[in-house]
Structure 1
Amino acid sequence: MKQGLAAIGLAVLPVMAWPSSDEAWDAFRTAVAQSCRALVEAPASASVAVEVNPFGSESYGAALVTAGSDRMVCIYDKAAGTAELTAPFADAAAQ
């Protein structure tokens, strides 16, 4: 009996850390997109795209960011509400 209860507890535990509604997930994705876009240093006329991973990991949100020909990864700390942007990836064709 104890094993059954432990298995149920472990199965439910990760779900408890997730937002509880579609609205909460939408707010999360908006926060990631806005935080990541704010970190991009590009002229106002530059084309910037932020593709947010719908759920991220347990602790972090993630987004692929493109600004012109640069491709970067943005990591969003769910607990702190802050984001960091990696340096651009090297052009694979140039390697």
Structure 2
Amino acid sequence: MIRPFAALGLASLCLAAPALASSDDAWAEFAAKVETKCLAAAADMLEKPVIAVDPFGTASYGVAILSGKPRGAEGSVSYLCVMDKKTETAEIGSELGADTLTVNIPAK
């Protein structure tokens, strides 16, 4: 009777292994990819943008906030960026002015 439980326990451990395989290096690589994709997607919108990346994102998306001076205008604006984890395509949301959202992202 113990053997079926042992086999079930071993199978459970094998299924959990992929979740344990996410290392700090893999998450850092993921965050760097989100940063690169989001900065590229916002290149025409912001001059010298700063970005804050959620280090893990959601189950389906990498998430970041970009902030800075809008191209050809004064002031400060922010954008939300999402990157689809499967396709690695980044999309930028609509402009959020300082009256809607104030973001202070420390320089790296």
Q: After TM superposition, is the score higher than 0.5?
A: yes
Q: Which has the larger radius of gyration?
A: 2
Extract unaligned runs of 5+ from structure 2.
1-7, 70-75, 101-108
Amino acid at match of 2:54: N
The 1:18–1:91 alpha-carbon spacing in structure 2 relative to 1, beyond 3 Å, is farther
Whether the 8 Å contact between 1:42 and 1:67 is mirrored in structure 2 is no
Whether the 8 Å contact between 1:17 and 1:58 is mirrored in structure 2 is no
Aligned length: 82
The 1:35–1:77 alpha-carbon spacing in structure 2 relative to 1, beyond 3 Å, is same
Whether the 8 Å contact between 1:36 and 1:83 is mirrored in structure 2 is yes
Q: Which aligned segments of 4 or more residues in structure 1 are displaced greater than 4 angstroms?
A: 15-19
Normalising by the residue count of structure 2, what TM-score does the alignment of the two structures yield? Answer: 0.63
Normalising by the residue count of structure 1, what TM-score does the alignment of the two structures yield? Answer: 0.71
**Identity level (%):** 32
The 1:56–1:74 alpha-carbon spacing in structure 2 relative to 1, beyond 3 Å, is same
Whether the 8 Å contact between 1:35 and 1:82 is mirrored in structure 2 is yes
Q: Deviations over 1:10-59 (max 9, x none)?
A: xx87x95686111110110000000000011147xx22111101111111
2:83 maps to what in 1? 76
1:26 maps to what in 2? 28
Extract unaligned runs of 5+ from structure 1.
none
Q: Deviations over 1:59-86 (max 9, x none)?
A: 1110001121111000010111110001
RMSD: 2.6
* Structure 1: distance between partners of 2:95 and 2:20: 30
* Structure 1: distance between partners of 2:87 and 2:79: 21
SS at match of 1:92: coil
The 1:76–1:18 alpha-carbon spacing in structure 2 relative to 1, beyond 3 Å, is farther
Amino acid at match of 2:79: M
Alignment of 1:8-27 (within 5 A): 16=18, 20-27=22-29
